[in-house]
Amino acid sequence: MLLLTWWTWYIWSHAAVTFIEAGYDIAILDNLSNSSKEVLKHIENITWKAPKFYEADIRDKDAIEKIFKENKIDGVIHFAGLKAVWESCDKPYEYYENNVVGSNNLFEIMEKYNCKDIIFSSSATVYDPNENPPFIENTPTWNTTNPYGTTKFIIENMLRDLANHRDFRVANLRYFNPVWAHESWLIWEDPNDIPNNLLPYIMKVASWELPELSIYWDDYDTIDGTGVRDYIHVVDLVEAHLDAWKYLENSGKKAVFESFNLWTGTWTSVKEMIAYTEEIIWHPLNHEIVERRSGDIASAYCSPIKAKEILWWKAKLTVKQAIKDSWNFIQTNIR
């Protein structure tokens, strides 16, 4: 059985579907701070199988151990953690406690129950922003710009130590911005209030749920002055996790720590995302230029070549397709 640890249902729900459909038994740990049990019904409707679910927090070591006592856990897919760059600058101690201390609790219980295979959800925020993108896996990672990135950097190094000294087998996956949703339209990204991620923010403005889109500055040294990022369809993203798990399964008993960038290979600026959306929705998006957010950088995109060569993984879906699918979904499901 695989244990999925999450704080946001958007990604764990897609991963649950992908792994169940591939024949794996899973258990899910989530503290429901940014999710709902309702999504479990959607997972069952898609897969015809209800996953085990534990409402728990990775900061609670006893709660984690209870899951391991009740199940034979073969491996962990670890996404549990707070994840907003700007918020981490306002709440650094909360991020250190949730992400780093919580992960340490999880790793300690894993070893206690001889469970040493783990896929870790890292981020390209670990890369040194002074380096020129596209980032590759051996681009320096020590000079983070925000507490969120720092927690990812610390956890990566914890797992590297555990691979070197405790025989853990680690697939360390670095990515940026998952977009859109499952083809069933039963699970999707629909955050409350103003979203942290760009595409759901754009969709809420496009559908007039929010009055305008804030562009966090337009004088960066980029193609059009706005931030440049890589975006990846969430379905492609979770397929990469399945490929990474098969990679760990085939590694035998040998300790391993390997990092992989996950991306389409095509970067997109904020203004380009707006222009693509306006082409699809046939009306302009209200937007304004506002001050930069703490911790943001101008450009962040990577090379996905290593994932293609070792995991045999390649993204299939485009940003434009994600925008189109998002708009079609909203038009079909008007609140």
Tell me the HSE value of 16 on the side-chain side, using a 13 A CA sphere.
Answer: 31
For CA atoms 69, 246, 234, 132, give the dihedral sign. Answer: positive
- Orientation of helix 61-70 relative to helix 102-112, angle to 10°: 30
**Which residue in the block uniquely carries the two structure tokens 């390209």?**
124
The CA distances from residue 293 to 85, 167, 273, 287, in Å, are 9, 40, 19, 16
pLDDT of residue 332: 72
Residue 184 has pLDDT above 60, yes or no: no
Domains recognised in the chain with CATH numbers:
2-176+233-261 (3.40.50.720), 198-229+265-332 (3.90.25.10)
> Mean pLDDT, to the nearest integer, of 138-146?
92
Residues in the chain: 335
Q: What percentage of the chain exceeds 90 in pLDDT? A: 58
Average pLDDT over residues 149-170: 97
Burial tier of 119 (Cβ tally within 10 Å: 0-12, 13-18, 19+): buried
76 CA to centre of own chain: 15
What's the rounded mean pLDDT across residues 257-286?
93
**Averaged pLDDT, 127-132:** 89
CA distance 213 to 290: 10
Backbone region of residue 44 per phi and psi (left: phi > 0; alpha: psi in -120 to 50; beta: other values):
alpha
62-67-72-74 Cα dihedral, nearest 10 degrees: -90
Q: What is the mean pLDDT of the chain?
A: 88
Residue 196 has pLDDT above 80, yes or no: no
| Per-residue confidence band for 246, with pLDDT thresholds at 50, 70 and 90 | very high
Rounded mean pLDDT, 95-106? 97
Give the tens place of pLDDT for each residue, 42-51.
888 889 998 9
| Range name among 81-95, 176-190, 208-222 with the lowest pLDDT average | 176-190
- Beta strand spans in 35-149 (E): 52-55, 75-78, 117-123
* Residue with more model confidence, 20 or 294: 20
Q: Do residues 56 and 29 touch, judged by C-beta distance below 8 A?
A: yes
Q: pLDDT at position 133, please?
A: 86
Question: Which active-site residues does the annotation give?
Answer: 148
| 28-42, 69-83, 229-243: least confidently modelled range | 28-42
Residue 70 to residues 76, 95, 152, 184, Cα–Cα distance (Å): 15, 29, 29, 32
